[in-house]
Chains A and B, each alone.
Chain A
Amino acid sequence: MSTQIGHSPTRLAAHSKPAQLPNSTHVDSHAVTKRLQSELMSLMASADPGVSAFPDGDSLFSWLGTIHGAKGTVYEGLSYKLSLKFPTDYPFKAPLVKFETACFHPNVDQYGNICLDILKDKWSAAYSVRTILLSLQSLLGEPNNDSPLNAYAAKLWENQAEYRRVLHKKYSELQK
């Protein structure tokens, strides 16, 4: 019998497994859940300031995250909730990440959609939940004003004092 090396991306107990036909359109979800579990453990073990995330309910494929605005930026002192939805072929495809807390920012639209290349065409499996959250945290303080989703915020960015005023006003309205 031929050796089946596959469908078991953990240690290969594959040598004892019967040969199966590989299925080229279906992706084995075991590898995805294993990766997501590793990501969760690494996030919990790491002490990255101002970012956290945890599965939302029982599914490992849907997480809620929080990022805090970095010190020294207009977002300092503000925190934002995010949702992360992982496709079944994660990490080969990016998770769908959205701001759940309304976020006034040049690269975030009114529905929480984010324009960030690493979440779109420049995604790679080398990114993880941790690096996504850190990238979003730095995006807050360093927007890409060349391709804004929120043109008003992009324009306002030049005037940091006014930007801070509008940002904090919008943020405090949310808290009511």
Chain B
Amino acid sequence: MRSAYAGNESPARAESSVGAISHQQNAETFTDGAESRPLQSVGDHSVGVSFADNTLRTSVNSVSAAVGDSVDEPTAEIVSSTPILGPNQGEEVSRPTDDQIIAQENSIRAAEAEKMPFVGTVEPLSALEEEYRQGSFVFREKIRSLEMQYGSMRRTRGDGNCFFRSFMFAFMEKLVQDNDLTERNRVVTCIRQWKAKLIAVGFQELVFEDAMEIVIDQLNSLGTTEPLNVAQLEANMRDAMLSPMIIMLLRMLTSAEIQRRSDFFAPFIMGMCDDEISVEQFCRRYVEPMGEESDHVHIVALTNALQVPIRVVYLDRSVGAAMAGVGYDSAAVNHHDFVPDALSESASAAAAAVKPRVHVLYRPGHYDILYPLPVTAADSTQIASC
């Protein structure tokens, strides 16, 4: 368990260093010549290496996912019970066969799907309270404070795509529930306009056209005789093909938004990465690949790309609001509103006047969906803005 963490801690970076180790290891294996090769046959060699690499990565993913899912809470199981190669074992001489690796990958996938689908079901916030039953006092107090604002939550799988998946599910679910055709029309037009913008920053049309069509078709079913419903949305978002398709599109939109406004994003990106990295390289390495975790930069970009205001509520151990001592309750929960530039500029009032469409709960390394309680005047003073 992590004893201390920073809000921006990114398991994705840790993952790349493991990748580097495995490359190194491959390099040694190869340059030593055929005699010392641990694999069975020349024909199988490349497959073995490639999968060994993936397996290592998968195992790291599932460990970090498990950690992400269970940040700081002692009641949950930290390490997956599926027998997986740990990063350390992976460096040892004996390697499993390809069949074993593939079987293992499949069993990991199946076990994860069973344990946690891409998106879960709606749960009362008391489930969160239960999770932290033996956790720190600060967490328990914060959850109680959260219950003043939010009635329920929906968990997402901790696979590095959780922000995008939480965002899209929550956004579409609200459209479906409200049958909000005005917002639907706006976002469909917005997505269609991205086609030319994606091509302009260098994406081939064939890499996004199917995903764009899928998202638009789902949206366009609203207002027809057979509109998308929440059950169907759940099924789609849990589907092994549709779910990654949708996330892929969001990742590309985010990447394109960052690249289109690289002057604005460059300083943030320089601040996040140790090595010198161009905005384009950042997008290629940390935005577009599936499983790369989302940071502030990603959220700012996505909120602007789709013009959807997002509220991120932070559940961590910080007691900043209490320290500030401006009358907030000691367990006040911090949140941050991501407001699209166009909306914050057009609204003559403060940006705070823009009502978030999507609420997500952030626990270090992971995002889940939050459902606000029906708004009453008293509620708005409970959460301290950060």
Give the segment of A63-71, A73-81, A142-150, A167-175 that binds chain B. Answer: A142-150
Contact A10 B45 (CB under 8 A): no
A9 and B229 CA atoms in complex are apart in Å by: 18
Contact B213 A149 (CB under 8 A): no
A146 and B228 CA atoms in complex are apart in Å by: 51
Which B24-47 residues have a C-beta within 8 angstroms of A?
Answer: 24, 26-27, 30-31, 34, 42, 45-47
Contact A113 B46 (CB under 8 A): yes
Asked if A176 is at the interface of the complex by the 8 Å CB criterion, the answer is no
Contact B214 A9 (CB under 8 A): yes
Asked if B191 is at the interface of the complex by the 8 Å CB criterion, the answer is no
Which residues in A have their C-beta under 8 angstroms from that of B54? 93
- Given A5-B221, A121-B57, A122-B284, also A22-B238 (CB < 8 A): yes
- Given A15-B221, A92-B248, A111-B42, also A24-B238 (CB < 8 A): yes
User: Which A-chain residue is minimally distant from B45 (CB atoms)?
Assistant: A111
Min CB gap A20→B, angstroms: 9
Asked if A4 is at the interface of the complex by the 8 Å CB criterion, the answer is yes
Instruction: Name A's interface SS.
Output: loop
Asked if B109 is at the interface of the complex by the 8 Å CB criterion, the answer is yes
User: Which B-chain residue is minimally distant from A37 (CB atoms)?
Assistant: B206
Taking a contact as CB atoms closer than 8 A, the residue among A9, A123, A125 that contacts B207 in the complex is: A125
Contact A22 B113 (CB under 8 A): no
- Number of residues of chain A lying within 8 A (CB) of chain B: 59
A10 and B31 CA atoms in complex are apart in Å by: 46
A24 and B118 CA atoms in complex are apart in Å by: 9
Which residues in A have their C-beta under 8 angstroms from that of B288? 124-126
Type the 1/0 row for A87-130, where 1 means its CB is closer than 8 Å to any CB of B. 00101110010100000000001111101011011111111101
Instruction: Name B's interface SS.
Output: helix
Contact B47 A96 (CB under 8 A): yes
Place the interface of chain B in its size category. Answer: 35 or more
Asked if A2 is at the interface of the complex by the 8 Å CB criterion, the answer is yes
Contact A24 B285 (CB under 8 A): no
Contact B248 A125 (CB under 8 A): yes
Contact B242 A6 (CB under 8 A): yes
Min CB gap B283→A, angstroms: 9
Contact A149 B217 (CB under 8 A): no
Taking a contact as CB atoms closer than 8 A, the residue among B27, B113, B218, B251 that contacts A24 in the complex is: B113
Contact A12 B206 (CB under 8 A): no
| Of B42, B231, B235, B238, most A-chain CB atoms within 10 Å | B235
Contact B236 A123 (CB under 8 A): no
Type the 1/0 row for A1-22, where 1 means its CB is closer than 8 Å to any CB of B. 1111111011110110001011
User: Which B-chain residue is minimally distant from A1 (CB atoms)?
Assistant: B226
Q: Please report B residues at the A interface, Cβ cutoff 8 Å.
A: 15-16, 19-20, 23-24, 26-27, 30-31, 34, 42, 45-47, 49-50, 53-54, 57, 106, 109-110, 113, 117-118, 203-204, 206-211, 213-214, 217-218, 221, 224, 226-229, 231-232, 235-236, 238-242, 244-245, 248, 251-252, 255, 284-285, 288-290
